[in-house]
Amino acid sequence: MEHLRASEALSLILESVPLSAGETVRLEQSLGRVLAAAVSANRDLPPYDVSAMDGFAVRSVDVASVPASLAIIEDIKAGNMPTKTVQAGQCARIMTGAPMPRGADAVIRVEDTQALRAGDVQIDKTVKPGNDVRPRGESMKNGEVVLTAGTEITPGVIGVLATVKAAQFAVYRRPSVAILSTGDELEGMHDPVDPNKIPESNTYALMGQVQALGIEPVLLGIARDEPAELRRYLQEGLQFDVLLVSGGTSVGVHDYVRPTLEALGVQMKFWRVAIKPGHPLAFGRADKTSVFGLPGNPVSSMVCFEEFVAPALRQMMGNTRLYRRTVTARLAHPVKFRPGRTEFVRVQLSRDAAGYIASSTGSQSSGVLMSMARADGLMVIPSDSTGLAEGEQVTVQLLDGTVFQEEIGYRE
């Protein structure tokens, strides 16, 4: 099979993964979720015309020429309803958020007034009708849709939900995710240190990536490179919505993952993508499960997660922003590339007056996990590039926990 381009692989994945069903969550537990149904306002807000300032509610005609002296007829606090009508030559002292009294059509800020003898105030400024008045329904009108389905729940959105008294509401479910590592050479986290073994890290790095999307994965452990054992583990993994298997997807004689998945009824959609690191990526679908065969190399597995798994999981959870935010940076040093595949170089970002500067995190070997641990972002090198000079403009995907965008933002 030919290597797919990154965008082709991503399209196949995004066409295949289902949108999760809805479930009800409480407001307190909703941060980061995505609304599965629109939410409407349950009242006009503000419910009446209110003052936007601490000051005096006046008839604008009374302050057409200033200074003007007005008689204060009452004090209106936020939470109190006015009891009097403002007549010619009168005003009411009013606080921010308090309802406008009948008769008045504008507010003068306290800073534009001077206290006179008891009961009177001098107004030093003329204003137009409506000045510093927030009209009824300015924030929202009863019955109008304030949040559409597909809205990602940020702290600001939580505030709006609280405003319309949405104590619980429908969001898309989070898919269940299982993580499985494979390889005879791997030493489990809780195994004694054996100098001949390779410490297993993919399970945990992937766990962190899954958790960063708000999902708590189930860790299945390590399956040995033995078909019967691998089959048992994979079978267990196929109970989940998403199964991430790392290692054993390549062309080694003990790489049993793909044939075993196929034997279990997983329809493999592709294998191998023209990217570096991470080309032995495989993807398939079973009845309910989307299966990602991730490369065993620790950096490759993480990069494949970023580029292919994270967008899929976000799409399943109803997000419309699937991709890492991209920024433009200048390259701190020259780099050479072999054309033919899209490269994801781990970089650190610094800033100067002209913007971001990207520099490599060191050895870009797909086994050197430090390159990922140190990275602020992935610099994406188009597949036709043979190299870049110092100072050239590059696109960097930020490896930040929560910031995503709608466009993929780079050229492959």
Contacts with ligand AMP by CB under 6 A lie at 181, 183, 185-186, 198, 200-203, 246-248, 250, 252, 295-298
Closest CA to 246 of 257, 262, 254, 235: 257
Q: Are strands 355-360 and 393-398 parallel, antiparallel or unpaired?
A: unpaired
Closest approach, Cβ 202 to Mg ion, in A, equals 10
CA distance to 12, 191, 313, 324, per residue, from 290 (Å):
12, 30, 10, 21
Q: Which does 298 bind (CB under 5 to 8 A by kind): Mg ion, ligand AMP, none?
A: ligand AMP
Q: Residues near 106 by Cβ (< 8 Å), separated by ≥ 6?
A: 57, 58, 59, 60, 63, 127, 128, 129, 130, 131, 132, 133
Touching Mg ion, residues 199-258 (CB under 5 A): 247-248
Closest approach, Cβ 225 to ligand AMP, in A, equals 8
Q: Which does 309 bind (CB under 5 to 8 A by kind): Mg ion, ligand AMP, none?
A: none
CB atoms within 10 A of CB 6: 23
- Is residue 183 at the binding interface for Mg ion, with CB under 5 A as the rule? yes
Q: Which stretch binds Mg ion (CB under 5 A): 161-169, 292-300, 327-335, 384-392?
A: 292-300
Residue placing its CB nearer to Mg ion in the complex, 183 or 311: 183
Residue placing its CB nearer to ligand AMP in the complex, 244 or 322: 244
Peptide bond preceding 67 in cis form (omega within 30 of 0): yes
Burial 166-187 (b: 16+ CB within 10 A, else e): beebbbbbbbbbbbbbbbeebb
Residue placing its CB nearer to Mg ion in the complex, 245 or 345: 245
Residue placing its CB nearer to ligand AMP in the complex, 246 or 315: 246
Residue 139 to residue 133: CA distance in whole angstroms = 13
CB atoms within 10 A of CB 4: 21
Q: Which does 295 bind (CB under 5 to 8 A by kind): ligand AMP, Mg ion, none?
A: ligand AMP
Q: Hunting for tokens 């040093």 — which residue is that?
A: 333
Closest approach, Cβ 224 to ligand AMP, in A, equals 12
Closest approach, Cβ 186 to Mg ion, in A, equals 8
Residues shown for the chain: 412
Closest approach, Cβ 335 to ligand AMP, in A, equals 24
Q: Which residue is nearest to ligand AMP (CB)?
A: 296
| Consecutive H or E run containing 347 | strand 342-352
Closest approach, Cβ 236 to ligand AMP, in A, equals 17
Touching Mg ion, residues 339-378 (CB under 5 A): none
Q: Which does 113 bind (CB under 5 to 8 A by kind): ligand AMP, Mg ion, none?
A: none
Closest approach, Cβ 13 to ligand AMP, in A, equals 20
Residues found near Mg ion in the complex (CB under 5 A): 183, 247-248, 296
